[in-house]
Amino acid sequence: MQKHTGICIIVSILLSMSIVNGDQQTTLNLMPIPAEIVLKDGIFRLDESFTLKIDDPADSRLYQAATGMLRRLAGRTGYFMPQDYITAESNLENPQIIVKTSRIGELKLFEDESYSLTITDKQITLIAETDIGALRGFETFLQLLSVDQNGYYFPNCVINDKPRFPWRGLMIDASRHFMPVDVIKRNLDGMAAVKLNVFHWHLADDQGFRVECKTWPKLHELGSDGFYYTQDQIKEIIAYAADRGIRVIPEFDIPAHATSWLVAYPELGSAPGPYSMERGWGIKDPTMNPVNEFTYAFLDEFFSEMAALFPDDYMHIGGDENNGKHWDANPEIQQFMKDNDIPDKHMLQAYFNKRILKILAKYNKKMIGWDEIFQPGLPTDIVIHSWRGQKSLIESAQKGYMGILSNGYYIDLIQTAQYHYLNDPIPEDTPLSAEEQKQILGGEATSWGELVTYETVDSRIWPRTAAIAERFWSPRSVKNVDDMYRRLEVTSFHLEELGLLHLKNYDMMLRRLTKDHDISSLKTFADVVEPVKIYTRHHQGKKYMSYSPYTRVVDAARTESMTARHFSKLVDQYIADPKNPDAAELILQLSVWQENHRQLVEIIKVSPVLKEIESMSADLEALANLGLEAAKALAKNKKLKKNVVDASVVLFENAAKPRGQVELMIVPSIRKLVSAASN
């Protein structure tokens, strides 16, 4: 253990510094950081003769992945490489890269995803136990591509890599806002690029049932508003994920979050119907009836069909946020609880879960569900999916249950990449023994769908999920936040080549907001704001519904302002030394903000949708004026005038208030600058 930790520390240091090869200099931009990497002298110089050979029995997944890797490599370099499609017949005499695997990997928990990558001046070798491991190696290989004045190259190195956790997931909620097939596919590509291996597909909730069901067809006919995946589309996506070494786990939330089920089949409900489609957000009352035998007969037939459609060993039943109101109001349910000594709704749900567990086991499926399914009497081969946090995860592990963590990875809550990155499924101070720690399988980033559409979902998932992916893959000791942000910027850029729209749609949404006028002033403003955090947006301003517009500044704004983050560093440097080399950049940035409001006002005049952020834009101008005055005082080693400092108190108070459900992120930095100039 000590040896491994030491290697990880060396790796982290090496990846945070520049590596010099003769007169060539490069900075490695790997994400996730590999378990072990040793850099060597020399480089492998890439040219248009580059070829690849797979020394392996027929494996269509590996051939397809190798072909895709070559296309991406050619796309980045512009090199006209000689190979078209890699096949079993691609027997080259002197390939530059040789790929060797022992077997075709299975899409299952604990499958081997390790690989070894060796790069020398003349030869590249990628060796893996399974083809899935080779796929992970391809991504690292692409990330190693470097450039100098002589062209493209790969640094000589030896990498031995494997994931820290076997369950590394992303959940996409397609129920609250439907996500078309192309959205799912491009996000699967993004997952593969950062070595995530579980796609958790939230397919049924109050607002929509999204799967074609032939056994009970009214589910998709009446419970989807016409937006659902056909079974052929489901199979297409499962195959697409499999080609990338990604498991697909569906979630059908029961017994609560059940409105869309009950619209179709009200006889499943605990309260008399009829039910109507839910358009709002939050915890709703409709809940399946756990004492009606029809419920179990229905779900038996349903899960029989879904088990045949989804091949993974696990099926997610949700099981969360049952408020119990319809159970409390149903005399039949209350009598059943009394007759069977069931004291409360939690134990009644435990009864329900045990019945569902038998159904799933009948179809060779294992149960996974949110914290609420953790009840006495369930077998330990189920998986507890923790949204509540470490306490419940630790408790379930101590009782022998496997678990995964999503608390701290709720990417819809608009928290920083740093916050997610430093949240660990097994923190250093864990009370779990070494044996108990094995019960923690990993975690999932969760993209809940209330406030996102197909236009904005990529920007809420990426690039922060790449930082989460590193937490799931890389050693725990890899946690240099500044270096993570450096590499995250490069990773974000590379993700765009996969068709993800997290960068591209930003300008598009700003153009719509300006009615296709010049977006530069709006972009300058939007670059320094972020949407309000956690669940604030649900309770601030107008009430959101599923059909509300998700096209305002708050929707276009990035989840994390890199401009504000960079400005904060400039302020720290300036306070330490007003004559530092980057001082001019700070003054220039403040000058841009100082002039921006008068330009943006002209755009607001022709685009009333922007009126809600006008006063905040004025605050940005005022903050910039104040910042320039404070910077000038610091440069002259003089104190800010008392009347300026006194007036700043009101400005900071006003500027910190959200408007249009966005927050101005430079307020703390200007406050710090003023504080320094006041002392």
Q: What pLDDT, in 10s, does the model give residues 222-236?
A: 999 999 999 999 999
Residues of the chain with CATH 3.30.379.10: 34-161
The arithmetic mean of pLDDT across residues 133-162, rounded, is: 98
The arithmetic mean of pLDDT across residues 652-669, rounded, is: 98
Position 540 scores a pLDDT of: 85
Q: pLDDT per residue over 550-583, tens digit each? A: 999 999 999 999 999 999 999 999 999 999 999 9
**Least confident piece of the model among 31-45, 53-67, 212-226, 561-575:** 53-67
pLDDT at 45 over 50: yes
Q: Pull the structure tokens for residue 627.
A: 């910042």
Q: pLDDT per residue over 491-533, tens digit each? A: 999 999 999 999 999 999 999 999 999 999 999 999 999 999 9
Q: How confident is the model at residue 25 (pLDDT cuts 50, 70, 90)?
A: very low
Kindly state the percentage of the chain with pLDDT values over 90: 91
Segment holding 636, helix H or strand E: none
Task: Compare 59 and 304 and report the one with higher pLDDT.
Answer: 304
pLDDT at 11 over 80: no
Segment holding 154, helix H or strand E: strand 151-161
pLDDT at 535 over 50: yes
Q: How confident is the model at residue 18 (pLDDT cuts 50, 70, 90)?
A: very low
Distance separating alpha carbons of residues 255 and 261, to the nearest angstrom = 10
pLDDT at 16 over 70: no
Distance separating alpha carbons of residues 678 and 641, to the nearest angstrom = 8
Position 8 scores a pLDDT of: 43
Kindly state the percentage of the chain with pLDDT values over 70: 96
Residues of the chain with CATH 3.20.20.80: 167-482
pLDDT at 61 over 80: yes
Packed helices 667-678 and 562-576: angle between N→C axes, nearest 10 degrees: 10
pTM of the model: 0.95
Give the three-state DSSP class for 340: coil
pLDDT at 220 over 60: yes
Position 17 scores a pLDDT of: 37
Position 15 scores a pLDDT of: 46
Q: How confident is the model at residue 7 (pLDDT cuts 50, 70, 90)?
A: very low
To the nearest 10°, the Cα dihedral for 210, 215, 217, 219? -50
Distance separating alpha carbons of residues 90 and 433, to the nearest angstrom = 50
Beta-carbon contacts of 650 under 8 Å, excluding residues fewer than 6 positions away, are none
User: For domain 34-161, which architecture applies?
Assistant: 2-Layer Sandwich (3.30)
Helices (H), 32-156: 60-77, 131-143
Cβ(528)–Cβ(486) under 8 Å? no
pLDDT at 9 over 50: no
Helices (H), 110-216: 131-143, 181-193
Cβ(269)–Cβ(286) under 8 Å? yes
Distance separating alpha carbons of residues 31 and 487, to the nearest angstrom = 7
Task: Domain 167-482: give its CATH superfamily.
Answer: Glycosidases (3.20.20.80)
Position 35 scores a pLDDT of: 98
Q: How confident is the model at residue 57 (pLDDT cuts 50, 70, 90)?
A: low
Catalytic residues: 321
Distance separating alpha carbons of residues 653 and 661, to the nearest angstrom = 16
Q: How confident is the model at residue 89 (pLDDT cuts 50, 70, 90)?
A: confident
Mean per-residue pLDDT over the chain, rounded: 94
pLDDT at 1 over 70: no
pLDDT at 137 over 60: yes
pLDDT at 262 over 70: yes
